[in-house]
Amino acid sequence: MTSHTRPWKEIQYMELKRLVAKYPVIAVADINMFPANLFQKIRKKLFGKAVVKVVKTRVMKKAISEVQGKDILKDNFSESCAAIFTDMNPFELYSLLKKSKGKIPAKVGAIAEEDIIVPAGDTGLPPGPALSDLKAAGLKVAVQGATISVVADKVVTPAGEPVSAAVAGTLSKLNIKPFKVGLKLVAAFEDGQVFDASILDIDAEKVFANFVSAHQKAFNLAFNAVIFTKDTSELLVFKAFNDAKAVALEGNIMNPVTVQPLIAKANLQAKAVKGFVKEAPVETPKEEPKEAPAEAEKKEDA
């Protein structure tokens, strides 16, 4: 047995030492009481992005102590832990693990993080002892055909309250898993620094919104103070052009930009003035009456 254990430990030690030297980011995860099936799911989700190793604490501490600069993480390893080796930055890794939570059954005495609700519908359970158990959990039930149905939605445990034995048993019978659990990241190493879980636990959307808000405020300040940057230059030049054009139009200064607007302005002013001037009526010249042909002939004979 000893001859088998020692070579195995040596192989594990050499593999861990290689991983410690290879990857820039090393994280420690607490797997104490963590469901094995959920751990396998997380391993699959991290496949191609990280290497996850369930390690012996003493072996891991020895392996990481051999790599200069990374040994500062060794005190974060304890019993029932896993080592995660990755190229992802610690914040990205923490966010991924935080989102990779699995559902687990309710245990007696566990505090509900949110209202635990049993929805109305067919339970699939036959009448019998289950009928009494469901009623004991506070559910309104009825036998419909060969199975028991829950008549109406029911909050069996409000948020912040402990789960009773009757409720835990009922939820188990109905295969309702109201609790979510994720792999707990203890700390992570990167670039000579160890990041505690409390530092890594950030709201990415909120942080992004803060960056957007800060950028907008900085832009407004730079624009109003006429500070030229790569973001404000184009708009400041455009504003200066419009201001100069407005001054030229107000001062009736002719240039290639203002000539057309000034002509249009003059035309409008002329039309406005014309509306206040009364034009004199145009007199048409009177024509002399033409003489009759007979009278004209008499004048010629005389």
Check for a shared fold between 2-101+182-202 and 116-179: no
- The single residue listed with the structure tokens 């973001």 is 231
Q: How far is CA 196 from CA 28, 134, 193, 253, in A?
A: 10, 44, 10, 68
| Distance separating alpha carbons of residues 146 and 167, to the nearest angstrom | 23
**Exposed / middle / buried, residue 123 (Cβ in 10 Å: 0-12, 13-18, 19+):** buried
Q: How far is CA 249 from CA 149, 151, 252, in A?
A: 81, 78, 5
* Structure confidence at residue 291 (pLDDT): 55
pTM of the model: 0.60
The dihedral through the CA atoms of 184, 14, 40, 171 has a sign that is negative
* pLDDT tens digits, one per residue of 7-49: 777 888 888 889 999 999 999 998 887 888 888 989 998 999 9
Q: Angle at which helices 2-22 and 57-65 pack, to 10 degrees?
A: 50
Return contacts of 129-134, CB within 8 angstroms, 24+ apart. Answer: 130/173, 133/166, 133/169, 133/170, 133/173, 134/170, 134/173
Topology of domain 2-101+182-202, per CATH? Answer: Alpha-Beta Plaits (3.30.70)
| Distance separating alpha carbons of residues 224 and 207, to the nearest angstrom | 26
* Structure confidence at residue 220 (pLDDT): 92
State which residues of the chain have pLDDT below 50: 1-3
Q: Using an 8 Å Cβ cutoff, are 73 and 23 in contact? A: no
* Structure confidence at residue 2 (pLDDT): 45
Return the structure tokens found at 242: 């419009």
CB atoms under 10 Å from CB of 148, counted, come to: 23
* pLDDT tens digits, one per residue of 194-229: 999 888 888 777 888 888 999 999 999 998 999 999
In the chain, where are the structural domains located?
A: 2-101+182-202, 116-179, 207-274
Beta bridge partners of 277: none
| Distance separating alpha carbons of residues 221 and 158, to the nearest angstrom | 49
Homologous superfamily, domain 116-179 = Ribosomal protein L10, N-terminal fragment, domain II (3.90.105.20)
